[in-house]
Amino acid sequence: MPRRESRSSSARTVPQRTLRVPDGPWCQPTWQVVDVSGDRRRQAVEPCAVEDCDGPRYWLGGPRSTSTVTSGLCYAHYFQWFRAGQPADFTAWAATESTPVGPPRGRPSSQMVDFRRLALTAADEVRFVVATKVARGDWTCNTSLRRVLMVLIDTADGRITDSLTERPVHDWLLLCRQHWPHASSFDTLCAPYIRSFFRLLDGATNPDPWTDDHWHWRDQFEFVLDAAQSGSTHTAVDWSSVSVPWMRVAVKSLARQQLTTATLSWGTLTQWVRASRQLAQFLTLDGTVPDPPAVTRTVFLDYLAWTRRTDTTADARLANTGAYLLESLHDTGLVSDLGSSMFLRRGENVHRKTRNPRPFPADVIERVDTLIVDNPDTDPTLRAMIATTRWAGCRISELVALPLDCLHHSDAGHWIEYWMTKTSAWRRFPIPDTLASVILAQQARVRDTYGPDAIHLFPGARSSAAAGRTQPWSTSGLRHRLSALFREHGITSSTITGELISGGDVHRFRHTVGMTLLNNGWTQQEVRDFLGHQSDTMTSTYARITDDTLARKAREFWENKPENSSEGDAGVERLRARLTAALPNGFCTLPSTQRCEFRPNPCLDCSFHDPGGRVFLGIHIAHRDQLQRLAADAAERGDTAAAELNTTMLDKVTKLIGEIDPDAPLETS
């Protein structure tokens, strides 16, 4: 699908958007682009330990590797100390023997980008594009970028009045070719920069991107909509493929309404376009374009039947989306003269989702832990990523974007917390100390390599240590890397199930975590909270217990059956099904739905009290003997109230004993 090129100023009917240039070295009137030689990743740290040297610390250490005392040296003094034989008295050498030095290795280049040669608007346009590209990791501040920017400014000087958008990109390519010193390398070294530059500038300054038939998230709608609406896909949208004009215009208007109100994601928008394109294809089978009144429920049911035919490549599931769009167009008034207001009834064209979680077999998990996670030769970032998802079961889009500060500590231990873009909710869960130590080590590596501005726990290949910026892994890049890692260690099949195994199936770690927790006594609600599911529907798909768990639970059931326990009174055993509480001296048969204030110690003449037969006979006799002693002691003290209370209870207990065993002695000798 061709990407729309820059528009001329005559095509703009409304003022273009104001660009906000991020802070950076490009904000100065002139910019060298390429810094002087040396490591500039730690400019925020303390200065060099050498007196009168203000250079940033490059090396942090001491006179011996075993020393606990550390001192910092700049890039130049580090090699000066090294060439001096690494003197044992480091402090004395830093104070007397060394001499202050200037910037390490080389001088600032005389070549620089001079923004003063452009109008203010054009200069800000160049700054904005460069800042955005460098922040993304698309461009690096190197000599190639400096050469291209210098050629672009030379070309624009005197050819524009205010903005670089006054000319289309084709003109800039032709003009820049004339200023490029080596014509043979222009198409490979300069032209890609120019095309990418004006593609982003055109999208960022377009005052009304909604009117175009080609919508792009990257370099266009990312400057219009909230970043959270992009979802996990940045697929371009081609409205020109919808062959019914009134439908194309109306659905575009509906999409604009819902995108601007943040009720629609970019991924859902691509589904709308596919559904509209398929419906329009059916409506124009006879070569004519029907008017809205001709689109009725009867026509739509014919369309539904057409999608189910074997001689078409149509998808019947898109019919549901098409019905929703037509009904929404009618209800919102965008197309009020449709032939019907309802096209599909509830329950029609049902497509049931079949979820079949596929956890990794136990032998695969064991080999992953042994050969990858516990292997010191594995790349430390990949080790940390696999160890994290082995415990947490992160979605791959969440794993690659984990923030550097996601680890927290409380009295209950270490926790991971991050924002889930899929459900628009926070996820917080505890982790073991072993995983916490792995993440802490990963955080230290990232901060040491990329400096204080790093924001990602697992920086990807596009991260720049020199610029101190991190970029996340791409999901496809991580899948390919893990697939290669699994093949490298021979983890390609399971010896238990015989199935082929690929490291790219990262989501299977999530299935493994969910089913393992459920098979180890966790409830569905606990697993739902741990994995961050929005509803019980997804969690319930993991509720398939394994054969080992089923066998264990069956053994526990049979071992705990009443007939397998110790012998007791048969009459009492038959009552267990309806007895709601076992008491020290009997059972309570009061239904659990009714309330009793005396259930913990009920009256012995309560109608719901069952003496328990011979099972509790010994307890009743012991209770009787205790009451006899209490009553006698109270009478001896002259406490008539206590004596009367215990005598009353004694009479009731004696009566119960007589009912259970008439031959029982009235007193215990």
- Which residue would you say has higher pLDDT here, 522 or 150? 150
CATH 1.10.3720.10 for the 362-540 domain, yes or no: no
pLDDT digits (tens, 9 = 90+) for 310-324: 999 999 999 999 999
- Which residue would you say has higher pLDDT here, 662 or 473? 473
Q: How confident is the model at residue 39 (pLDDT cuts 50, 70, 90)?
A: very low
Q: How confident is the model at residue 546 (pLDDT cuts 50, 70, 90)?
A: low
pLDDT of residue 8: 45
Domain ranges of the chain: 9-34+109-207, 211-332, 362-540, 572-660
H helix or E strand, kind and range, residue 207: none
**Alpha carbon distance 408, 45 (integer Å):** 25
- Which residue would you say has higher pLDDT here, 130 or 138? 130
pLDDT digits (tens, 9 = 90+) for 210-240: 999 999 988 888 888 877 666 556 788 999 9
DSSP state of 393: -
DSSP state of 424: T
**For 407-422, what is the mean pLDDT?**
88
Strand duo 586-588 + 581-583: pairing: antiparallel
Percentage of residues of the chain with pLDDT beyond 90: 35
- Which residue would you say has higher pLDDT here, 45 or 526? 526
**For 498-522, what is the mean pLDDT?**
87
Least confident of 58-67, 71-80, 402-411, 424-433: 58-67
Q: How confident is the model at residue 558 (pLDDT cuts 50, 70, 90)?
A: low
pLDDT of residue 279: 95
Q: Which residues pair with 419 in a beta bridge?
A: 426
> Is the torsion defined by CA of 164, 168, 169, 175 positive or negative?
negative
How far are the Cα atoms of 71, 561, 566 from residue 572, in angstroms, in the given order? 81, 15, 13
DSSP secondary structure of 487-524: HHTT--B-TTT--B--TT-THHHHHHHHHHHHTTT--H
Helix (H, G, I), strand (E, B) or coil at 417: strand
H helix or E strand, kind and range, residue 296: none
CB neighbours of 531 closer than 8 A, spacing ≥ 6? 393, 510, 513, 514, 539
**C-alpha distance across the termini of the chain, in Å:** 104
Query: The whole model's pTM is what?
Result: 0.58
Helix (H, G, I), strand (E, B) or coil at 238: strand
pLDDT digits (tens, 9 = 90+) for 248-307: 999 999 999 998 887 788 888 999 999 999 999 999 999 999 999 999 999 999 999 999
